[in-house]
Chain A
Amino acid sequence: MEELIKQLEKQIIEQLNLEDLEPEDIDPDEPLFGDGLGLDSIDALELIVLLEKQYGIKIENPKEGQKIFYSIRTMAEYITKHKK
């Protein structure tokens, strides 16, 4: 799980062009949206693409997004459970 979290931190920085950040700057339990990393709605769409492109996971129910993308740890847990 910890390895996957580190990988996700790197992928998110790259995919979302968060060039000011290093992986170690991101707290895996911090909220990705709102007060945490301050991501926006376009970033949310990029995260959906990232899950599909890197892990082959398609989110069928958009309502799940809020829970899956709460933090990097919740993303990692979802990937571990659903990776094909």
Chain B
Amino acid sequence: MPFVIETYCHIRNNRIFRDGKLIFEAPDADLKGFLKSAYKFLNPGHAKFYKMDELSKLGFLAAEVLSPAFDRELPPEETAVILSNTHSTWITDIRHQETITDEDKFFPSPAIFVYTLPNIMTGEISIRHKFRGENAFFIFEKFNPEFLVDYVNQLIMSGKIKACLGGYVDQSIDGYEAFVYYLRSGKNDGKKPEHTAGEVRKLYEMNNEVKKEII
């Protein structure tokens, strides 16, 4: 039975792409402004978004872009959320550190502290879309489609899940990116990519021109 990538989203360089097509951009905004305007554009009506850290906002928005394709007929426990990145919650860790460095101004913020674990992002997405399947976040030195594909395909073959939101959502002092895809077992019209490491890497590298320039 094939595992098919139904739809995918890139968020990079203040642009959002769905299935390789640009759907939103805010070229002159800073990251905070970009995320806010993207939220207003997608209009999901989920005020909790404003309380999230930037990493969770990125993952949340990517999931929101893909959400029309989610199979709502599946039982909640049959959709997993398996994401990954390289820098964990580095930027939020720095923000948290700033609140506890000065002994005279020692005011750790609970709202910042709760986002110092990257799996909070998978939790936010799962709560929003009522997914109750496997929920995991992995940290690799660089994007690792071989591991992710093996892990997710094993879950599907074990019969635990039938669909999954997978991908890579990262933020560091050098920038940010999100590549998230939704895959489903058992359907393929022959036009959609199958869930293999090669296909996932190929999709990941689409719309990647800015990152390549940096490298």
Contacts and interface: CB of A to CB of B under 8 A. Distances in A.
Interface stretch (A22-30, A41-49, A65-73): A41-49
Contacts of A61: none
Contacts of B108: 49
A17 B51 CA distance: 6
Nearest to B108: A49
Contacts of A43: 111
A52 B105 CA distance: 11
Interface residues of A, number: 13
B215 interface: no
B110 to A, nearest CB: 4
A84 interface: no
B1 interface: no
Contacts of A20: 47, 50
A53 B102 CA distance: 13
B29 interface: no
Contacts of B109: 46, 49
Given A18-B50, A20-B50, A42 B110 contact: yes
A53 B36 CA distance: 27
A61 to B, nearest CB: 19
B114 interface: yes
A35 interface: no
B56 to A, nearest CB: 12
Interface in A32-69: 42-43, 45-46, 49, 52-53
A20 B49 CA distance: 10
Q: Which 8 A-B pairs have the closest CB atoms?
A: A45-B110, A19-B50, A17-B50, A53-B107, A17-B51, A42-B110, A46-B111, A20-B47
Interface of A: 15-20, 42-43, 45-46, 49, 52-53
